[in-house]
Amino acid sequence: MPRSFIFPHLAQFAAAMAGRRTAAVSVLVVALGLSGMIVLTVDPAYVTSHRWVEAGLWTCVAFFAVEWLARLVRAKRARHGLAYALSGHGLADAVAALAVPLAMAGGVDSRSAWLFGVVWLFKLVPEVSGLRRLRRVLVLESGPLLSVLVLFLMLLVFASVALYALERNVQPAVFGSLPSTLWWAVVTLTTVGYGDVVPVTPLGRLVAAMVMVCGLGVFGLWTGILATGFATETRRDNFLKTWNSVSKVPFFASLGPAAIADVTHVLRTMDLPAHTMIVRKGQPGDCMYFIAAGEVEVDLPGKKVRLREGGFFGEMALLGNRERSANITTTQLSRLLVLDLVDFHVLMSRHPDLAETIEGEAKRRTLENS
């Protein structure tokens, strides 16, 4: 069969597999592969079942190889094959597929070669959004984090030199050289405190106490930087998601970027499953809702009305009539944007044309319902 026939069909097959692959399957294969690798390190299990476990591990390697090929072929067909191959995602896929076979080809014994399967953990990074967010935080906060690292190293050296000078004559076996003292400094500065090496002189103990306090401060700085950066990235992601939802609502689509930013800051997002009661008739209301996705059913006297993406309801509670006039329930998975009463007045004062539109629609609905 000619190559011109084989390779296009192979490319289509690989691309189709890449399109159907789900993140859950990849995570499951990684979990099974790591479990098999762990089993091979247990001597009784290795003796009794290493052939079956290795067969399963080779199946995992084959899956990673086909997955890598599929993504490479799909990227090449989209004319960014080199970009994928050199990206973090592409390198993780390549290492997962090739690490163990290359180790065995290099002469590493089978039991040790399977330990290279630990690199399969890198495949989880692109699949977990929290890890991607953490990676972005580490990149954005690299300057402050490196500054604290320099501070940590300075404290480490100062503590080592101080304890070497104070304790070397009293405890030459454990503080007789700076490399030996560095072990004590690392353990103390990280507040682990194994207790295997401790100063005995009064000044040495005073230095040790100061080092422990400084260690708490250094790790507190690292924790604060990461926590602040992670919170900032979370707010950024939520802002972008809300912005995307707001831009789909017709009432907001005509607003400029600055106005949409104002709206995005005051709206809350709700994701509700089907058949969820949102508004109950007769209850007081203090917010209105915009439908970013999904559908709701309004139970009016004598009829039922369905509102879809782009619609809104509950506006009468913000325009003076605080009592809900109908039961409203979701008919499918829906995403709603919620505008509270206080934020409504602030928003309407900044955008009076939007206020007029909402008031006009409320009057139209009142006449239609009556």
CATH of the domain at 35: 1.20.120
- Other Cβ atoms closer than 10 A to 97: 21
Q: Domain ends where: 77, 99, 127?
A: 127
Structural domain including 60 reads 3-127
Do 14 and 123 have their domain in common? yes
> Nearest 10 degrees: CA dihedral of 77, 78, 82, 88?
-120
Q: Both ends of the chain: CA-CA distance in Å?
A: 75
Do 121 and 46 have their domain in common? yes
Answering whether pTM is above 0.85, one says no
Task: Tell me what pLDDT residue 301 has.
Answer: 77
In a domain, 279, yes or no: yes
Contacts of 161 (CB under 8 A, 6+ apart): 178, 181
Tell me the CATH number at 153.
1.10.287.70
In a domain, 280, yes or no: yes
> Nearest 10 degrees: CA dihedral of 318, 320, 326, 330?
0
Do 286 and 365 have their domain in common? yes
Q: DSSP assignment, residue 235? A: H
Do 31 and 62 have their domain in common? yes
In a domain, 245, yes or no: no
The stretches in the chain having pLDDT less than 70 are 1-23, 127, 129, 194-195, 245, 247-256, 318-322, 353-355, 357-359, 361-362, 365-366, 368-370
In a domain, 29, yes or no: yes
Q: Domain ends where: 127, 156, 188?
A: 127
Task: Tell me what pLDDT residue 321 has.
Answer: 62
CA atoms within 13 A on the CB side of 296: 27
Do 180 and 219 have their domain in common? yes
Task: Tell me what pLDDT residue 263 has.
Answer: 75
> Nearest 10 degrees: CA dihedral of 160, 164, 166, 169?
160
Do 40 and 94 have their domain in common? yes
In a domain, 14, yes or no: yes
Do 44 and 116 have their domain in common? yes
Structure tokens belonging to residue 341: 């009463």
Overall domain count for the chain:
3
> CA triplet 50, 53, 58: central angle to 5 degrees?
120
- Which residue type is seen at 10? L
Q: Domain ends where: 84, 99, 127?
A: 127
Q: Rounded to whole angstroms, how far apart are CA atoms 100 and 115?
A: 8
In a domain, 243, yes or no: no
In a domain, 178, yes or no: yes
Do 103 and 66 have their domain in common? yes
> CA triplet 110, 114, 116: central angle to 5 degrees?
130
Do 261 and 352 have their domain in common? yes
Task: Tell me what pLDDT residue 150 has.
Answer: 93
Task: Tell me what pLDDT residue 251 has.
Answer: 63
In a domain, 136, yes or no: no
Do 258 and 343 have their domain in common? yes
Do 120 and 150 have their domain in common? no
Do 39 and 74 have their domain in common? yes
Tell me the CATH number at 261.
2.60.120.10
Q: Rounded to whole angstroms, how far apart are CA atoms 66 and 88?
A: 18
